[in-house]
Structure 1
Amino acid sequence: MTKMLSIVENSSTKLLYALDETFIKVESDNRRTWSPVGNPTIIEKNNLKKGLKLIGATEISKKYDSFVDAYQYKTKITSDEFIHFAEHLLEINENKKIYIILDNARIHKSLAVRLFRAANEKNLKLVYLPPYSPELNPQENVWNKYKACIHTNSSKSSEDILYEETCKFYDSFNNTQDMVKNLVSASNYYYK
């Protein structure tokens, strides 16, 4: 990993992304609650099985920009969605080679993905993390920051509102390059 990182950092035509999937429900994530002494805590809950499933990637070596695709909670994220997302990364980084660090999820290793990777081997390299090692994926820090900002003490009333808040988060997040760099810089993960 260190050798690859050195190659990417010393080239203007290579970029390194960390990619991962997650989900978020419209329900609040009550990390903390309080109530006056003697009164029971009341937690708002709407029991909806709704939310968003997300595919996200953040460039972790130079530009520190972050991208996300959102899908309705009932949508199953498959290799097709992953390939669509990877195609988008290739389009916005035309004439560059991109390295994508990702986990060993089945959708990342399907026949369709292997064929896609072979068809784009000049501009794309998939780098798989060891099994069960989310701590090596910087995108996990982006998800933690995202969920901490999105979750409040009250539930969202719809997926549309959750989607709007997700868009606002990413607009703001991509305008704070120093914070993004502190969260995901590849040197924090792979030079130790």
Structure 2
Amino acid sequence: MNPNISEQLLALSRKEPNARKRMRLLAVSLFYEGNSRTDIAKRLNTARSSVNKWVSSYLENGLGGLDNKPIQGRPSRLQPQQLEQLSEFIKRTNTELQGGRLTGEDIVHYIHTEFGVHYHLNHVYKILKQLGFSWITSRSKHPKQSLQSQDAFKKFQLETILHTPGHLPLDRIDVWFQDEARFGQQNPTTRIWAETGTRPRIVKQQQFDYGYLFGAVCPATGQTEALVSPFVNKEAMTQHMRQISHATPAGRHAVVIIDGAGWHTYDTASEFKNLTLIKLPPYSPELNPIEQVWSWIRQHCLSNRVFSGYDEIVDEVSKAWNHFISIPDRVKKMCNREWIKLI
């Protein structure tokens, strides 16, 4: 017998994480040490027929003969075209304008009605996972939202050329996203770590003091500008545009993407020669990554909180914003979108 092969197989068995394959490697290693197959079976507390099969498989196929064989399992009672039909049904139902949602029981009923096959609910969940579906939180969508308008807007290079001064090359234009959010004493409560089986109670205020955080980010550079105001109007919007204008280096131009709020008017930027506003399509908040910033701030900093009044709201909102922007790479990663790249 070859001791070198035995030592190599023994070394592989020590590194192998899978217990079954480790057993096979060890058995063949003992075989190459000169042990009989009967002795190997007794030593490893396994059947001699198994040792015979492992040794023969190694002799015929090398190390590949000791790999785990895929478990076939019972063949699916649904044909591939039926699984595809089920997948399309789920996708189509989730995008209907009437709304609603499919439950596991609905899918059990659909499979039985369409294909004459009855599955237990737990098995349906396995099928959904195999098809690539998960039970996840949905995002809101306005009934009047137009995907065509959104796709057209994402041709952002043309949109930018049409709205900015013609003498500016695209490599001197910085794209910003801007929005506002209200924070105050009517704060949401969120999930917390607690003992299994309990439902902890969190204080939720009933007062109505609040403030508005105006925020803007430039994903390419990680720059940010923000202000907190007790109200939202064109005056506050103009002040925020002034901040972005001052933050834009000489020789560069800022394109600020905004939504269609009533105080988001083009004249709030008219006095700033290095700044242009471009509006998102109607009912398209998901195109503005600032929405994710607001969610991050609420989840990480401001949920489950109690505020004594407006002054404390301003202080805590400012701290939350500064915490978010303290890592520029976080700003860039969360707010970057492929379609805003101009060059």
Normalising by structure 1, we get a TM-score of: 0.78
| Paired residue secondary structure (1:99) | strand
Q: In 1, are the aligned partners of 2:185 and 2:210 still within 8 Å (CA)?
A: yes
Return 5+ residue gaps in structure 2 as ranges. Answer: 1-154, 162-167
* Residues 1:36 and 1:138: Cα distance change in structure 2 (over 3 Å): closer
Find the counterpart in structure 1 of residue 264 from structure 2: 108
Q: In 2, are the aligned partners of 1:16 and 1:98 still within 8 Å (CA)?
A: yes
Alignment of 1:4-153 (within 5 A): 11=171, 13-32=172-191, 41-60=200-219, 62-72=220-230, 75=231, 77-95=232-250, 96-109=252-265, 113-114=266-267, 116-120=268-272, 122-153=273-304
Tell me, in whole angstroms, the C-alpha distance in 1 between the residues paired with 2:174 and 2:236. 21
Listed one character per residue, the Cα deviations across residues 114-151 of structure 1 (whole Å, up to 9, x for unaligned) are: 3x54443x412111100000000111111111111222
Tell me, in whole angstroms, the C-alpha distance in 2 between the residues paired with 1:173 and 1:4. 32
- Given candidates 156, 181, 184, the residue that maps to 1:2 is 156
> Which residue identity is paired with 2:225?
F
- Given candidates 325, 328, 336, the residue that maps to 1:177 is 328
Q: In 1, are the aligned partners of 2:280 and 2:287 still within 8 Å (CA)?
A: yes
* Residues 1:5 and 1:175: Cα distance change in structure 2 (over 3 Å): farther
Listed one character per residue, the Cα deviations across residues 82-117 of structure 1 (whole Å, up to 9, x for unaligned) are: 1111011111214221100000112112xxx43x54
Count of matched residue pairs: 180
- The Cα shift of 1:39 comes to 7.4
Tell me, in whole angstroms, the C-alpha distance in 1 between the residues paired with 2:197 and 2:298. 31
Q: In 2, are the aligned partners of 1:101 and 1:126 still within 8 Å (CA)?
A: yes
- The Cα shift of 1:35 comes to 7.3
Q: In 2, are the aligned partners of 1:5 and 1:186 still within 8 Å (CA)?
A: no
Tell me, in whole angstroms, the C-alpha distance in 2 between the residues paired with 1:93 and 1:108. 20
Q: In 1, are the aligned partners of 2:180 and 2:215 still within 8 Å (CA)?
A: yes
- The Cα shift of 1:5 comes to 8.8
Choose between structure 1 and 2: higher strand proportion: 1
Q: In 1, are the aligned partners of 2:183 and 2:211 still within 8 Å (CA)?
A: yes
Normalising by structure 2, we get a TM-score of: 0.46
Choose between structure 1 and 2: higher helix proportion: 2
* Residues 1:17 and 1:37: Cα distance change in structure 2 (over 3 Å): closer
Tell me, in whole angstroms, the C-alpha distance in 1 between the residues paired with 2:197 and 2:262. 50
Tell me, in whole angstroms, the C-alpha distance in 2 between the residues paired with 1:4 and 1:176. 32
Tell me, in whole angstroms, the C-alpha distance in 1 between the residues paired with 2:236 and 2:221. 24
* Residues 1:46 and 1:89: Cα distance change in structure 2 (over 3 Å): same
Deviates more, 1:31-40 or 1:145-154: 31-40
- The Cα shift of 1:50 comes to 0.9
* Residues 1:84 and 1:4: Cα distance change in structure 2 (over 3 Å): farther
